[in-house]
Amino acid sequence: MINCFAFFWKIIFKKKSIQNEAIPAASAERVHYLIYRLSLAEGYLKIEELADELFISKSTIQNNLRDVKKVMETHGIQFGAKPNYGFKLKGKEVKLRYCIAEYIFNRTDRDFSFNTMGSLILLKTK
């Protein structure tokens, strides 16, 4: 089921990437992008990789990650950091799914109905 969930998010992310090919410039846009990116990551991500992706400095990424961390902590999700590997999200899968549904769908796709997609996202609550 997790593989189906990851596949679903990759499709959504690709769709949004095609629609919004511009690199996020504002801090709020970068925070939103980083939440997407971290939610889809299968392994650890390095700050350098993200800085290169967004064409910004490491210190700017670190500032944006503080904001991402605050959002994630409100949903019971934490950052797991490992020296020389990077960081990733840690927490129960159901909390991660809820955060994605609440933060991403409700804030970006006003026409995207949570009621119709909620059962798909929260299908497995293990």
* Structural domains of the chain, count: 1
Number of Cα atoms under 13 Å in the Cβ half of residue 52: 5
For 76, the token pair is: 């019971």
The CATH number that applies at residue 43 is 1.10.10.10
How does pLDDT run across 29-39, given as a tens digit for each residue? 899 889 888 88
Boundaries of domain holding 11: 2-121
How does pLDDT run across 46-81, given as a tens digit for each residue? 999 999 989 999 999 999 999 999 989 988 999 888
pLDDT at 10 over 90: no
Could you tell me which residue, 4 or 72, shows the higher pLDDT?
72
Q: What is the pTM of this model?
A: 0.66
Evaluate whether residue 16 is within a structural domain: yes
Evaluate whether residue 126 is within a structural domain: no
Give the per-residue pLDDT at 122.
Answer: 45
- Residue 55, Ramachandran bin (φ over 0: left; ψ between -120 and 50: alpha; else beta): left
What is the average per-residue pLDDT within 101-123? 49
Task: List strand residue ranges (DSSP E) for 34-113, in order.
Answer: 78-82, 86-90
Sorted by sequence, the CB contacts under 8 Å of residue 34 that are 6+ apart come out as 50, 61, 64, 65, 68
Query: Is residue 89 a contact partner of residue 42, using CB atoms and an 8 Å limit?
Result: no
Give the per-residue pLDDT at 21.
Answer: 54
For 101, the token pair is: 């549904």
Evaluate whether residue 10 is within a structural domain: yes
Tell how far CA 13 is from the center of its chain.
Answer: 10
Reference 68, options 42, 30, 95, 98; nearest CA is 30
What is the average per-residue pLDDT within 85-99? 88
Give the per-residue pLDDT at 25.
Answer: 85
